[in-house]
C-alpha cells in the first residue's frame, strides 16, 4: 500500500472561467497532514497569462497574503475578494502556502469571457442609376458612439457595403 501526500497542501477552489466584471471570493483550502498544529501564510498573485506581468492590483486584490492556522489532520480556508477587469482574456493565478518548513503551491491559467455581444445592423439603401439620395443612420447617430450613463453600448466598426444587385 502506498500513500503519497505532503504535510501541507494548498487546494485552490478556482472557477473554470472568469467573466469580465465578476466580483467574487477566490478561495482555497489549506490541508494539514502533519503531526502538529500549523500556522502560516497563504499568498495569491494574479498575472496576465500572455506577458506574465503582475496584475493583482487590476483585480483589486488588496492584500496578497492571508494567515491560517490548522490542527493536525484538518484544513483551513483562505480567501481573497477580487474583481475581474475588462480587456484581459487569460489570467494566471499563483497560490502558495507555507508553515514551518512546509510549502505547497499551484499555478493555473483561467480564461476570461467577455460580457459583450456583437450586434450587426443593416438597412437597405435603394437607389437608381444617375440618382443622388441622402440617408441618415439614426440609430448610429443616436447611439452616442461611447459609453453613456446607464448604457454599455460601444460602437465597434462601421462597414458600408454597396451592391448593384444585393441578391
User: Which of 2-11, 15-24, 155-164 is predicted least confidently?
Assistant: 155-164
- What is the Cα–Cα distance from 95 to 4, expressed in whole angstroms? 21
Burial-class residue 57 by CB neighbours within 10 Å (0-12, 13-18, 19+).
exposed
Which of 95-104, 111-120, 139-148, 157-166 has maximum average pLDDT?
95-104
- What is the Cα–Cα distance from 112 to 85, expressed in whole angstroms? 9
DSSP assigned state of 138: H
Amino acid at each position: 500500500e502506498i500513500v503519497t501526500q505532503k504535510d501541507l497542501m494548498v487546494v485552490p477552489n478556482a472557477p473554470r472561467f472568469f467573466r469580465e466584471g465578476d466580483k467574487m471570493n477566490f478561495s482555497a483550502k489549506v490541508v494539514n497532514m502533519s503531526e502538529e498544529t500549523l500556522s502560516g501564510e497563504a499568498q495569491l498573485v494574479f498575472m496576465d497569462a500572455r506577458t506574465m506581468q503582475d496584475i493583482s492590483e487590476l483585480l483589486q486584490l488588496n492584500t496578497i497574503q492571508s494567515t491560517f492556522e490548522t490542527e493536525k489532520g484538518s484544513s483551513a480556508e483562505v480567501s481573497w475578494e477580487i474583481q475581474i477587469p475588462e480587456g484581459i482574456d487569460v489570467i494566471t493565478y499563483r497560490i502558495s502556502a507555507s508553515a514551518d518548513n512546509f510549502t505547497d503551491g499551484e499555478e493555473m491559467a483561467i480564461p476570461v469571457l467577455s460580457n459583450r455581444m456583437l450586434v450587426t445592423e443593416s438597412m437597405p439603401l435603394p437607389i437608381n442609376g444617375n440618382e443622388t439620395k441622402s440617408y441618415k443612420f439614426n440609430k448610429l447617430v443616436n447611439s452616442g458612439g461611447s459609453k453613456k450613463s446607464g448604457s454599455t453600448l460601444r460602437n465597434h466598426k462601421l462597414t458600408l457595403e454597396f451592391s448593384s444587385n444585393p441578391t
